[in-house]
Amino acid sequence: MLDFYGEEGRKTATLRVIEYERQLDIDARMRARYRVARGRVTRFIVQLEVLVESKWRPVVRYDTSHRFAHRDLYRKHGRPVKSDLKMSFEEALTYALDDLRENWEIHKSEFLGE
């Protein structure tokens, strides 16, 4: 946990960064990183990746990089399609983690065109 203090050593905010990688299969993994400040999610990225020709490629990414919660859906050839989740960061993070835990095989198959 990272703590930030004011001028006189008073605690002004607490920031936690949680980061992990979960191997789902020999050629599939989920990576997550999120920041929580004062009990609120302030940023996150949750990404499903598959190994294609010895390179990890993004399949689905949920993040807050444009200051709103959204999903980028990748295809093997072509540009990603962005969808606004229209949820709070907390709701979107939970949704993203649940989706990739439960549906990673479907996302992988669609990405690979199987």
Q: pLDDT tens digit string along 45-74? A: 999 999 999 999 999 999 999 889 999 999
Spell out a b/e string for 16-45, using b for 16 or more CB atoms within 10 Å of the CB, else e.
eeeeeeeebeeebbbbbebbbeeeebebbb
Burial class (CB in 10 A: 0-12, 13-18, 19+), 8: exposed
- The pLDDT assigned to 114 comes to 62
Give the number of other CB atoms < 10 A from CB of residue 81: 10
Give the percent of the chain with pLDDT over 90: 75
Mean pLDDT across 12-35: 92
When the pLDDT of each residue in the chain is averaged and rounded to a whole number, the result is: 89
End-to-end CA distance of the chain: 42
Pairing of strands 70-73, 28-37: unpaired
Are the C-beta atoms of 49 and 56 separated by less than 8 Å? yes
